[in-house]
Structures are given as C-alpha cells and as structure tokens.
C-alpha cells in the first residue's frame, strides 16, 4: 500500500501513517493549514444615537441614487409649484452641475431655510394627509437630501408680487445666510459636485453619456403626463430637445415617440368604474416594441412603475402580442387620493392600490376597447411600412367583415360569395384580382396584386384559421371525429402530468384520449378542424407542461378578470399550433389559394394566436425605398 505524504510549509514531504484510516485526518490537517483563521466581528458595546451628519447621509442615500434622482426631485417641486415651463441644464452627465429653472410660485425669503430642513414641507399638515396626497412631493426630504449629497446647492427664488428674489446657498452641509438677489419670477436650483460628500458613490455611476441618457429618458416620459407644461433639456451648453406646451395629449405623445407614432396609437377612453378612470393612448396591433420602456403609466399625475398596470395593459392584447414584444403608449389613471398609497418607497416611484383587482380590470377593459375601436394596425407588419389606406379593410357576408389584403373595399360593403368563401370579384376591373404565385422554401406563400405583394407564413396563417374555427364553437363542446386506427403514444412524466391537468378541456374540444398501459395513451378521436396526420399531441403537452406544473399565471389572469387569456384560450392557441401546416411543407396551388382565402375570412388575419405576424406586405413605396429610388 502506498504511503500518504503531506507537504509542509517548508516545502518538505512529511510521511504519515499508511492505510485508508489515515486519509481523512491527513486531508483535514492539510485543509486546515490552508484555510484562513476566522476573525470575530466586533460591534459597539452600547446602542447610541447617530449624529446629524450621518443621519443626513443615510437619508440622502435612500432618495438620491444618481443624477436623475436629483432631476426628479427638483422637477416634481417645479410642477407642484404650478410651473408652465421647466428647463433642465446638465454638465458632465449631472456629476459636475445640474440646474433646474421654472416659472412657478417661488419660495418666500423667510421660508428658504426651512425648505432645506429635513421633513419640512408645505404639502402636509397632519398624519391623515398622507392618505389624501394630491401633490408629487410630500416627504420634505428632497432638497435636504440633495444638499447632503452635493458639494453645494444654491436656491434663487422670487414669488409673484415680490420686487426682488432671494438666494440661499449650502456648502458641505453648512447653511449660509439668505441674500437679496435679482431674479425672474420662479425658482432656480443649482446643484454642484454631486456626491462630493460621499465620493465612493461616484464610483457606482455609469459614464457621463449613460447618466445623461437616464435624465433625458425620465424627463421625456414625465412630459407625457404634463402636456400643458413646456420642457427643455440642455447638455453641456447645447439644447438637446425642447417640448413646447400643447393642448392635446396626442401632440405631446407624437413629440416624444416620434412623428410616425400618431398613426400607430389608438385612443384609450375607459368608462370609469367605482375605483379608477383610465385614459391615454396605446399602440395598435402590430406596433409593438422589444421592451417595456415605452409603457408609460401615470397615477394622478405621478409617473410610476406598476407591474400590475403593465400586466393588465399587455393582457388586453391577448393573442395579438408576440412573445417578447410589448405595447407602447401612455396611460393616465385617475383615482381618489385615498385609494392609492404613494408612501411606499422613498423615491415615490412605486404605488399600491386599495382596489388592485378593480384597477387591473379597468385598465384591461379600457385598452381592449381601444384596440377593438382601432380595428386595424397602421404600423408596419413585419417591418414594412404600410399607409393607413393600405391596411386590410372590412366588408362581409357572415357577420364579419370581408378583408382585402390589397386595400380595396367592396362597393356594396358585402361579398356575393357563400359564407364559407370570400369574394374577390368586387375588385375594380382596372385592378386585376390578386393571384397566388407559389411558395418560397415550402414555408411562405406569395400572393401578388397590382399594387403590392403579400408574403404569408403558412404555419402562422393556418394557426389563426384553426384557432378561430375552434373558438367559434365555444362554450359548446366540439364534435369529435373517431380515428379509424387509434394512435398509441408513450408519454414521459411531465407530459403525463400536463395531460392529466388538461384532459377534461381537451375532451370538450373534441380530443378523446384514453389510457392504454403504463405511460401509454391512445388518441381515439379528434375535432374536424384538426388533421390526423398533423396533430402533435406530444408537442402540445410539452408546451402545456410549464402551465400544468405552475398554475399561478392562469390564476392571476382569472383574478384580474382577463377572460380572453383564460386557461381554455391558452389550450386553444397551443392546440392550433400543433394541428396545422408546418414550415417546409409543400402545398399544392389549390391548397395555397384556399389558405389565403380562409385567412382573409378570419376576424384577425394579421397575427397568429401567439401574436406573431401572419403576413409581410411589400408595396411600391417599400420597394422604392429598398432600391433607393427617390
């Protein structure tokens, strides 16, 4: 048996006892020699009060996290003061200097020292006022926290009716004397050397450009909720942007989101319930974005973050929003001050609602009504620009509009064909009817018209067709078509669990499945809308397994009253995905034509049940742009 050796600190080998019994003690000895000795942490023996400077630094750290926090506190003070214009000037991303000017009511000279004292405010009188807050600020901590974090803070203010203004400066926490100053009506606050008192905080800041970007993003979002106030932003002496005061919220939205946003937004005019009123604008179907940055929420004029409101906003889109995509726009919620708690976080960016479920339902219903009223998207489908008169329009015989992908409306408002087909004969003689050209890579169906070409994703299109056919029969049970030869499948544990959780719903949808042996099941019948050759039960169960393992999402949606996104709808969308034509599947010319015509008859032909676009449109304008024609 080999002998075990340990290496000492002098580098020499030290023989030890032989045998397996010696192995563990030897290893323990070696490891103990390598591990550092633990040291006990000493604390103060007695509890004591912190000094004022330390208290101020702790409070400042809660409120002032970075330069944008300073801008937020100062601009909110300006809005509370009734300002009609606000100008923000930044130097070096806000590290070196931040100046906020306004034409608000100003501060009386005698009140300037109080304005810089902690917990001094003109917005609260008693503790009960905390439950009826009507202003953006109320804590009385903003200016005091900024003064504690910055090298210096200067306030110059002149209330209306005063011949002169007054100036007060704080340097390194030392309050100066109030001095008379020449000033225009309003207030100017200058903050220099942010985090000079706590240099370590500067190490956690991003670069100047990144910090300025945060300021610009915050200020432009805030401006959406205050359209009658003009805002301007200056960076290192250069005016970056200016938003003039406007009478219409839509005008301000267009200034912030861009010129093309007007046609991409639908007005939200919610019917007030017992808790909340909802208004604003939301993006139409197809005009989505890759993140939630464009989802701007105001509650009683306060810009807030609210996961509940954003979730309700997205739920309203149901199956028209692709996975990983989000709407954009601005929602303005109006609640009684007592029904919303803004005293949740030191920065006042988060709120809680007394009637959270009612607020959720009010937002969902208002956005859904806006989408129904908008009828059609005016943003690009799949990245190709589409003018408003080129988007699918309505006409129809079976109670739903007949859609022309080529922007031509039936003169009579209805087609002459049977309910199961769509009439293309209404196209004016000068414009030949669209024709199916063929497939690209056995995946995309090409339809050509006189003014544009439409490329259809055959899988997404067939998903939409089957989904709506299944949905039309609900809440009644779907008739089943027995299989001549039942299909036997072996399922793994997750698939079996998913099947057990949705088996009753599948039976109502016409899918009859029986146990056949250990981990084996056989498909006895399918609904008429599902092709036996294409139906993929195992893929269906794989997609449903996460929801079977954790039903919290369905429960949350149901609690919010989101009937369009309930359990059965999820199953329908997943079923449609696994019972239709696949990519790289060759279709005959007749099958392509029928697919195209059936897609036109759908209530929402532009997206699949999961929100992916079903078609890409190329008109003359898009082609000219691609070929760089003027």
Interval 189-212: pLDDT, tens:
999 999 887 777 788 888 888 899
Query: Is it the case that residue 390 has pLDDT exceeding 60?
Result: no
pLDDT tens, residue by residue, 403-440: 333 333 333 333 323 222 222 233 333 345 778 888 99
* The pLDDT value given to residue 74: 92
Domain ranges of the chain: 5-34, 52-243, 253-374, 383-630
For residue 112, count other CB atoms closer than 10 A to its CB.
19
More confident residue, 120 or 271: 271
More confident residue, 594 or 318: 594
Q: Which two tokens mark 138?
A: 């109320």
The CATH classification of domain 383-630, taken from the options 3.60.110.10, 3.40.50.300, 3.50.50.60, 3.30.1540.20: 3.30.1540.20
Query: Is it the case that residue 398 has pLDDT exceeding 50?
Result: no
Question: Residue 437 in 3-state DSSP?
Answer: strand
* The pLDDT value given to residue 43: 53
Query: Is it the case that residue 97 has pLDDT exceeding 90?
Result: yes
d(CA 439, CA 584): 10
d(CA 573, CA 431): 37
* The pLDDT value given to residue 381: 31
Q: Which two tokens mark 100?
A: 């906020």
Instruction: Specify which of 106-120, 173-187, 198-212 reaches the highest per-range mean pLDDT.
Output: 173-187
* The pLDDT value given to residue 477: 61
Q: Which helix (H) or strand (E) holds 344?
A: none
d(CA 271, CA 624): 44
* The pLDDT value given to residue 129: 56
What is the rounded average pLDDT of the residues 243-270?
A: 84
* The pLDDT value given to residue 344: 66
Pair 605, 596: CB distance under 8 Å: no
Of 134-143, 454-463, 482-491, the one with minimum mean pLDDT is: 134-143
* The pLDDT value given to residue 329: 92
Would you place residue 339 in the very low, low, confident or very high pLDDT band (cuts 50, 70, 90)? Answer: confident
d(CA 88, CA 102): 9
Query: Is it the case that residue 266 has pLDDT exceeding 70?
Result: yes
* The pLDDT value given to residue 409: 30
d(CA 477, CA 472): 11
* The pLDDT value given to residue 29: 72
Of 105-109, 118-122, 386-390, 435-439, the one with minimum mean pLDDT is: 386-390
Pair 80, 348: CB distance under 8 Å: no
More confident residue, 284 or 274: 284
Would you place residue 529 in the very low, low, confident or very high pLDDT band (cuts 50, 70, 90)? Answer: low
Q: Which two tokens mark 411?
A: 């003169």
Instruction: Specify which of 69-78, 396-405, 599-608 reaches the highest per-range mean pLDDT.
Output: 69-78
Sheet holding 520-527, edge to edge: 480-490, 520-527, 512-517
d(CA 208, CA 274): 46
* CATH class assigned to 253-374: alpha beta
Percentage of the residues of the chain whose pLDDT score is greater than 70:
69
Would you place residue 239 in the very low, low, confident or very high pLDDT band (cuts 50, 70, 90)? Answer: very high
253-374 matches 52-243 in CATH topology: no
Query: Is it the case that residue 291 has pLDDT exceeding 60?
Result: yes
Would you place residue 509 in the very low, low, confident or very high pLDDT band (cuts 50, 70, 90)? Answer: confident
* The pLDDT value given to residue 99: 95
Q: Which two tokens mark 163?
A: 């011949």
d(CA 136, CA 343): 11
For residue 62, count other CB atoms closer than 10 A to its CB.
13
Query: Is it the case that residue 452 has pLDDT exceeding 80?
Result: yes
Query: Is it the case that residue 101 has pLDDT exceeding 90?
Result: yes
What is the rounded average pLDDT of the residues 11-33?
A: 61
User: DSSP assignment of 474-496, as one string?
Assistant: TTSPPPEEEEEEEEEEE--HHHH
* The pLDDT value given to residue 103: 93
User: What is the rounded average pLDDT for all residues in the chain?
Assistant: 75
d(CA 186, CA 81): 9
b/e sequence 594-629, b meaning 16+ C-beta within 10 Å: ebbbbbbbbebbbbbbbbbbbbbbbbebbeeeeeee
Would you place residue 46 in the very low, low, confident or very high pLDDT band (cuts 50, 70, 90)? Answer: low
Q: Which two tokens mark 202?
A: 């500067």
The CATH number of the domain covering residues in 52-243: 3.30.565.10
* The pLDDT value given to residue 90: 95
Pair 242, 231: CB distance under 8 Å: yes
276 exposure class (CB count in 10 Å sphere: 0-12, 13-18, 19+): buried
More confident residue, 465 or 274: 465
Largest CA distance in the chain: 103
* The pLDDT value given to residue 400: 32
Pair 304, 351: CB distance under 8 Å: yes
Instruction: Specify which of 219-233, 326-340, 392-406, 606-620 reaches the highest per-range mean pLDDT.
Output: 219-233
Outline where 191-243 has alpha helix (H). 199-202, 208-224
């Amino acid at each position: 048996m080999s002998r075990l050796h340990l290496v000492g600190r002098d580098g020499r080998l030290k023989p030890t006892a032989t045998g397996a019994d010696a192995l563990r003690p030897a290893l323990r000895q070696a490891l103990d020699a390598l591990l550092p000795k633990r040291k006990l942490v000493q604390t103060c023996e007695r509890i004591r009060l912190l000094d004022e400077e330390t208290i101020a630094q702790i409070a400042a750290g809660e409120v002032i996290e970075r330069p944008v926090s300073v801008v937020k506190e100062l601009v909110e003070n300006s809005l509370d003061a009734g300002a009609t214009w606000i100008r923000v000037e930044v130097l070096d991303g806000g590290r070196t200097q931040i100046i906020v000017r306004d034409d608000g009511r100003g501060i009386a000279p005698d009140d300037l020292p109080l304005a810089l004292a902690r917990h001094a405010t003109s917005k609260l009188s008693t503790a009960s006022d905390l439950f009826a807050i009507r202003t953006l600020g109320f804590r009385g901590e903003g200016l005091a926290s900024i003064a504690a974090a910055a090298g210096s803070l200067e306030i110059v203010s002149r209330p209306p009716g005063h011949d002169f203004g007054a100036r007060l400066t704080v340097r390194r926490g030392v309050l100066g004397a109030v001095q008379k100053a020449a000033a225009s009506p309003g207030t100017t606050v200058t903050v220099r050397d942010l985090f000079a008192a706590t240099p370590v905080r500067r190490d956690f800041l991003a670069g100047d450009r990144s910090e300025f970007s945060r300021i610009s993003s915050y200020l432009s979002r805030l401006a959406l909720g205050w359209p009658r106030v003009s805002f301007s932003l200056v960076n290192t002496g250069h005016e970056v942007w200016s938003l003039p005061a406007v009478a219409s919220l839509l005008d301000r939205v267009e200034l912030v989101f861009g010129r093309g946003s007007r046609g991409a937004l639908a007005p939200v005019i919610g019917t007030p319930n017992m808790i909340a009123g909802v208004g604003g604008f939301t993006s139409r179907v197809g005009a989505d974005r890759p993140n939630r940055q464009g989802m701007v929420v105001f509650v009683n004029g306060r810009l807030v973050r609210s996961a509940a409101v954003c979730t309700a906003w997205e739920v309203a889109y149901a199956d028209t929003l692709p996975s990983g995509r989000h709407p954009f726009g601005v929602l303005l919620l109006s609640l009684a001050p007592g029904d919303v708690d803004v005293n949740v976080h030191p920065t006042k960016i988060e709120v809680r609602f007394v009637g959270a479920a009612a607020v959720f339902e009010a937002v969902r219903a208002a956005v859904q009504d806006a989408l129904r009223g908008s009828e059609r998207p005016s943003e690009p489908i799949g990245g190709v620009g589409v003018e408003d008169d080129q988007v699918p329009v309505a006409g129809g015989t079976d109670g739903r509009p007949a859609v022309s992908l080529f922007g031509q409306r039936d003169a009579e408002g209805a087609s002459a064909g049977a309910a199961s087909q769509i009439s293309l004969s209404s196209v004016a003689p000068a414009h030949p009817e669209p024709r199916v050209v063929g497939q690209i890579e056995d995946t995309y169906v090409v339809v050509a018209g006189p003014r544009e070409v439409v490329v259809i994703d055959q899988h997404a299109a067939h998903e939409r067709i089957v989904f709506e056919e299944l949905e039309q029969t609900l809440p009644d049970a779907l008739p089943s078509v027995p299989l001549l030869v039942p299909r036997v499948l072996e399922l793994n544990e997750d698939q079996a669990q998913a099947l057990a959780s949705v088996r009753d719903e599948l039976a109502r949808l016409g899918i009859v499945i029986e146990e056949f042996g250990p981990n084996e099941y056989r498909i006895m019948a399918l609904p008429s809308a599902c092709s036996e050759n294409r139906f993929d039960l195992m893929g269906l169960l794989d997609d449903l397994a996460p929801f079977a393992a954790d039903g919290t999402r369905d429960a949350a949606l149901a609690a919010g009253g989101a009937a369009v996104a309930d359990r059965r709808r999820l199953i329908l969308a997943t079923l449609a995905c696994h019972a239709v034509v696949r990519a790289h599947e060759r279709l005959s010319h007749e099958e392509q034509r029928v697919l195209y015509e059936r897609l036109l008859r759908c209530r929402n032909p532009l997206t699949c049940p999961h929100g992916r676009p079903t078609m890409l449109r190329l008109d003359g304008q898009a082609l000219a742009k691609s070929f760089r024609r003027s």
